Amino acid sequence: MSNFMKDSTLFKKAKNLSVLIAVNLAIAFVCLEAISLAFYFVNQKQFFYTRGKTQEKIVEEIDRAGIRLDESIVERLHPFFGYVLKQGAFTNEKLKLKVNRHGFFSLYEYPFVKTNKNQFIIGVFGGSVANNFAVDEYVTQRLSKKLKSYPEFANKEIVVLNFGNGGYKQPQQLLILNYFLALGQEFDLVINLDGFNEVALSNLNNKAQLDIGMPSVQHLQPLTGLANNNLSPELMGSIVQISETKKQLKAAVDKLQNCSIALCHAVTSLQVRQLVSSYQQAVVKYDKQVKESNSDANSGIFYIPKADSVLADAAAFDKMAAMWYESSVSMNQILSSRKIPYFHFIQPNQYYPTKRVFTDKEKEIAISKDSPYIAGVKQGYPVLLSKVGDLRKAGVNIFSAVNILDNTKETVYKDACCHYNSVGDEILANYVSSSIVQTVRKSK
């Protein structure tokens, strides 16, 4: 009988302990869920359980950072432009946004033909920052709203055409402009947003002994290397690592969008951000390997002009700036002859020292001591900026936007390369639109 009583007591204690553990776990879950709900509300500006079926903010950030989750190699070699994006990639059914048949992320096929006289066509040229600038317009209509707030554009139906792609640098913008003008594309105004790629990526070309005027070595070499089957094991390993990280990121994003409780959403969001960081680090590693690769660019069927030698930095940056200057002057001359206003903006970048005080978040995500772009920006930007006066004398409407982010205390950079978040995009759109309007008024 005593054993029975003893067992019964132990059973009750075990049961009470189980209940206590269960209650504590439930309380812990409720607390974590409450914290997660607050976290979601702060970030998304809406309640988790009543949220609409809108794209997650973090997914938008991934898209705008240029991280393509669906495919590993999305560029395709192009006989005139060097490379473009794969037709049909990155389709956004809701916005009807995709890579068009010419390889540009756009709402429209090119040449775009006006459907009414009130339409005002703006062509945007440059690299990934220009691409993001145009895509931001497709999503938010930020630029068109800014312009239409001025009487000069109030009654216009503004149509933005994106001719930018990641890694593009002069003279690619010049060549693309000429090509589409030859196809009959009409423009009412052209924006060229560049500067970073012209020095950061051209510097990598020089170090790889690839002609500075050629498209970016970090974009061309993988494509030609795959086509020629001569990539190094290290580069192949990096491509595999990037591809695997993308797969994990895509799976995490899919899970994020299907979370039914806020705690799941919060944990998965942190996982997604960690994977984004891992992806960006893998890209930096890959870029360094491309820079250090000594493979023969012309060992296969693709001819890419190589330089006779690696130029000394001073000579290299002078050559880069001269090519950039001549390309912009040529774009302006071609467009001026057609009475099309041309506006050239030099983009801000975190590696060019200004008075900006970086936030703690920017110090964590936007500044990388291992970035392969630092040397190019720090040495190249001053040379580009020294040409601004000459460009103005040549009749180019050129604006240095390198300081426009200095006066905000908010985080504006979203990666360790060159791209801006929504706050930065807003500042840039304000600067571009106000500069255009001021110039238009002065010309009257």
Comparing 177 with 61, the larger pLDDT belongs to: 177
Predicted local confidence at residue 432, as pLDDT: 97
- Tell me the pLDDT of the chain averaged across its residues: 84
Name, of 63-72, 96-105, 165-174, the range with top average pLDDT: 165-174
Contact status, residue 351 vs residue 373, Cβ threshold 8 Å: yes
For residue 96, count CB atoms less than 10 angstroms from its CB and return exposed for 0-12, middle for 13-18, buried for 19 or more.
Answer: exposed
In the predicted structure, residue 164 carries a pLDDT above the cut 60 = yes
Predicted local confidence at residue 171, as pLDDT: 98
What is the tens place of the pLDDT at every residue in 272-303? 778 777 777 777 776 666 656 655 555 567 77
Comparing 31-40, 258-267, 424-433, the range with the smallest average pLDDT is: 31-40
The whole-number average pLDDT for the span 75-94 is 84
Angle at alpha carbon of residue 126, lines to 300 and 134, rounded to 5°: 125
CA 162 to chain CA mean position, Å: 13
The whole-number average pLDDT for the span 123-137 is 96
In the predicted structure, residue 422 carries a pLDDT above the cut 80 = yes
> Rounded to an integer, what distance in angstroms lies between the CA atom of residue 329 and that of residue 310?
27
The whole-number average pLDDT for the span 139-149 is 95
Comparing 227 with 126, the larger pLDDT belongs to: 126
Comparing 337 with 265, the larger pLDDT belongs to: 337
Confidence of residue 34 (pLDDT cuts 50, 70, 90): low
> Rounded to an integer, what distance in angstroms lies between the CA atom of residue 76 and that of residue 61?
24
Predicted local confidence at residue 84, as pLDDT: 93
Predicted local confidence at residue 80, as pLDDT: 95
Give the C-alpha distances (Å, rounded to integers) separating 105 from 85, 91, 136, 223, 353. 8, 9, 11, 19, 32
